[in-house]
Amino acid sequence: MNSYDVAIVGAGIVGAACAYECARRGMRVVLVDREMVGSGATAAGMGHIVVMDDSEAQFALTRYSQRLWQQMRSELPDDVEYEECGTIWIATDDEEMQEVERKRGYYAAHRVAKQILGSGALRELEPNLRAGMRGGLLVPEDGVLYPPCAARFLMERAQEGGVETRLGCNVVAMGGERVLLDDGLEMHAKFLVNASGASAPALTPGLDIKKRKGHLVITDRYPQFVRHQLVELGYLKSAHSMTSDSVAFNVQPRRTGQILIGSSRQYGAEHKEVDHEILARMLQRAQEYMPGLGAMSAVRTWTGFRAATPDKLPLIGPLPSDKSVWLATGHEGLGITTSLATAHLLVDQMTGAPTEIPNEPYLPSRVGKEHAHA
């Protein structure tokens, strides 16, 4: 009793994807969450399924995972709202247009579909952007989905495959092939997976994961006002900053006609409450790009916590100090995109199967090595 091949802590999109993949490979799995499925960062995320090129490793993981989402597309229920709407990276001036050129070259070399847009073409595709934008890069295969329903779908698939779920159960310790709940119940498994997102260091002390708070706003319905996920190129500066609070123009069309407006990044902000100063900055930034947003009604504002690692890559694989503990966390602002690839890489390593992409860049052991060489 209470003995499994795999015990996963965290039923966010990453834990749900891992549970599904383990079940597909015939493993006996229990998945535990102190709340419900998809209630952490997954409920707060924007759901942009995006290929990113900050590093080769980030590109490899996002591209691999995007392909897995595409393969799963026909199985996704309607409420997952998967739409291949494409991303447009927006350049406001010549300097940002140079970055568009660089990105185009990178994607060309890596066989990602893309198209440079001049200011006229950009205006035609997105007439509600302010006049005078310099241009942009359209990446048509990027998409969007609704993360809580995607997590629920993966969870249902996992349950159909025999995964046992224990929701409303708070894990207080994991290690040595044992998971301990706060009511004293113990579960045993060869593989313990810490997929508890930004809370991961509480269960695996010493992990260098910081909470990075984000705000989002969703509007009332304004169909066709925005047609692609629109992101300013300055977003990269915002995502790279290690210290200061930052905001960037990042808007998403929802199938309902609503517009999801982001985004902000803050370290050291531990409370879930909306920070009105940063929210005002974020909305101001959005209006600088799309003045019409200022006249719209917002129906909800919320926050969430990204799990940020120092090198901007997730931790996927065994913990060097306890080989029964496996990590699937640290996905920062890309965990919806990279959840499926994370699950495949993790389970390939557990079962000794070859991985589709090199797994070394994501191994938790890289962190120890960096420290040893520092």
Ligand X SMILES: Cc1cc2nc3c(=O)[nH]c(=O)nc-3n(C[C@H](O)[C@H](O)[C@H](O)COP(=O)(O)OP(=O)(O)OC[C@H]3O[C@@H](n4cnc5c(N)ncnc54)[C@H](O)[C@@H]3O)c2cc1C
Sites of contact with ligand X (CB under 6 A)? 9-15, 32-35, 39-42, 44-48, 170-171, 195-199, 203, 214, 216, 263, 304-306, 329, 331, 333-337
CB distance 179 to 189 below 8 Å? yes
User: How far apart are the C-alpha atoms of 303 and 320, rounded to whole Å?
Assistant: 33
* Residue (234 or 304) nearer to ligand X, CB: 304
**Shortest CB 316 distance to ligand X, Å:** 11
Region of residue 169 (phi > 0: left; psi between -120 and 50: alpha; otherwise: beta):
beta
| Cα 267 from Cα 100, distance rounded (Å) | 28
Which of 29/97 has CB closer to ligand X? 29
Shortest CB 33 distance to ligand X, Å? 4
Nearer to ligand X, 138 or 169 (CB): 169
Query: Which is nearer to ligand X, 32 or 139 (by Cβ)?
Result: 32
Closest C-alpha to 366, from 324, 322, 310: 310
Residue 199 Cβ, how far from ligand X at the closest point, in Å?
4
- The token pair that represents 210 in the structure block: 């910081």
Q: Catalogue the E-assigned strands of 182-257.
A: 186-194, 210-221, 229-232, 246-253
Give the separation between CA 206 and CA 196, rounded to whole angstroms: 15
CA–CA separation, 229 and 364 (whole Å):
32
- Least separation in angstroms between residue 372's CB and ligand X is 27
Question: Shortest gap between Cβ of 87 and ligand X (angstroms)?
Answer: 10
The tokens describing 221, both together, are: 């319905």
CA distance 346 to 329: 11
User: Which lies closer to ligand X via its Cβ, residue 45 or residue 234?
Assistant: 45
CB 262, min distance to ligand X, A? 6
Nearer to ligand X, 306 or 366 (CB): 306
d(CA 211, CA 304): 9
